[in-house]
Amino acid sequence: MSNNISKIGVFTSGGDAPGMNAAIRAVVRASIYYGKEVYGIMRGYEGMIDDEIVKLGSRSVGNILQRGGTILKTARSEAFRTREGREKAYQNLQRNGIDALVAIGGDGTFTGLTKFYDEFKIPSICIPGTIDNDLAGTDYTIGYDTATNTAVEAIDKIRDTAMSHNRLFFIEVMGRHSGYIALHCGIAGGAVVTIIPEEDMTMEQLFSKLDEGGKTNRKSSMVVVAEGSKLGGAMELANRFSARNNYFDIKVTILGHLQRGGSPTYFDRVLASKMGIAAVEGLLNGKQGYMVGIQNNHIVYNDFHTIINHRHEIDSESLRIAKILSI
């Protein structure tokens, strides 16, 4: 293991995701286990630029495993996009003696760190933490399982009222440009149609599928719409379908940020724990400029450039299943 690293800085950046705290805890404890000092950088790149850096010990990360959000706070930093901002961040790291970084976040975080790593060569490794599950090089990102479970729970509740009133609901879920959350909560929540950015669907195809429901005496229905849908958001689709539908009473629910909060599922806690340890071990074994991932239940490492230049393809088997089940 590398003896050149003595102080590891850990931070969370971009949208928070349930399980980030479990990942911080694993990074801190693994660093200490291997005899390294560990520092928390507050508010992601913003705190790196503003020199908000605190020493962490094993007890600083006690009682956080089960909590949503991130104790290190997070931000989307405009300043870090500039060379000036990144230089300031580098100087602060040097002044604090931090000689390696573990970043927990999504594609914006990785893109920023790739640039920083290329410019300043500070040993760095990333852990994928985002509800969107949109990163190449890993089957799952931390937070995706919890967010999808939260969405399914919401859909189940909406179904009760939809069934009681004979209503058609358009439910919009998060995921940015990715349809992962929508596709899987559509299957688990029994949606009649799931609209995702990765699949082309015309307005006519959507409408005729919904008309079919009217003709076959479907009393209530749920359409799940990914926020990145190219056909339009839930509100727009509901308005357009209302104009021609005389069968269903139509309602819209946009789940929004409630999908980002809450206690992480067991799956996300275990995933975060494995990835946090793998990040520190990888870093100390020379995996610098890499992202930790999990593929076929095994920890893998992929270099930053491979990750940011590829996308996480949608799972075609899930697409097939969703179609069969929605007749």
Taking CB under 6 A as the criterion, the residue among 73, 86, 159, 260 binding ligand F6P is: 260
Cβ-based nearer residue to ligand F6P, 123 or 175: 175
CB of 214 to ligand F6P, least distance (A): 32
Taking CB under 6 A as the criterion, the residue among 19, 39, 86, 132 binding ligand F6P is: 132
Q: Is 104 exposed, middle or buried (0-12, 13-18, 19+ CB in 10 A)?
A: buried
Tell me which stretch binds ligand F6P (CB under 6 A): 4-12, 39-47, 51-59, 169-177. 169-177
CB of 177 to ligand F6P, least distance (A): 8
CB of 107 to ligand F6P, least distance (A): 8
Q: Residue 290 has which token pair?
A: 């890499």
**Does the footprint of ligand F6P cover residue 311 (CB under 6 A)?**
no
Q: Residue 198 has which token pair?
A: 């990765």
Helix-helix angle 203-215:234-242, to 10 degrees: 60
CB of 17 to ligand F6P, least distance (A): 7
Taking CB under 6 A as the criterion, the residue among 18, 19, 85, 106 binding ligand F6P is: 106
Footprint (CB under 6 A) of ligand F6P, residues 226-245: 227
How many residues make contact with ligand F6P (CB under 6 A)?
Answer: 11
CB of 87 to ligand F6P, least distance (A): 26
Element (H, E) at 251: strand 249-254
Taking CB under 6 A as the criterion, the residue among 175, 186, 213, 264 binding ligand F6P is: 175
- CA dist., res. 326 & res. 187, Å (int): 9
Nearest by Cα to 95 from 63, 29, 51: 51
**Does the footprint of ligand F6P cover residue 176 (CB under 6 A)?**
yes
Instruction: Enumerate long-range contacts of 279-282, CB under 8 Å, 24 or more apart.
Output: 279/27, 279/30, 279/102, 279/125, 279/126, 279/127, 280/8, 280/26, 280/27, 280/30, 280/31, 280/34, 280/36, 280/102, 281/1, 281/30, 281/34, 282/125
Q: Where are the alpha helices (DSSP H) in the chain?
A: 20-33, 44-50, 83-95, 107-120, 144-165, 180-189, 203-215, 234-242, 266-284, 304-308, 316-325
Cβ-based nearer residue to ligand F6P, 106 or 137: 106
Catalytic residue, from 132, 134, 145, 268: name it: 132
CB 107 within 8 A of CB 134: yes
**Does the footprint of ligand F6P cover residue 130 (CB under 6 A)?**
yes
Footprint (CB under 6 A) of ligand F6P, residues 194-233: 227
Active site residue 160: no
Tell me which stretch binds ligand F6P (CB under 6 A): 85-93, 129-137, 187-195, 266-274. 129-137
Residues that bind ligand F6P (CB under 6 A): 15, 76, 106, 130-132, 174-176, 227, 260
Catalytic residues: 132
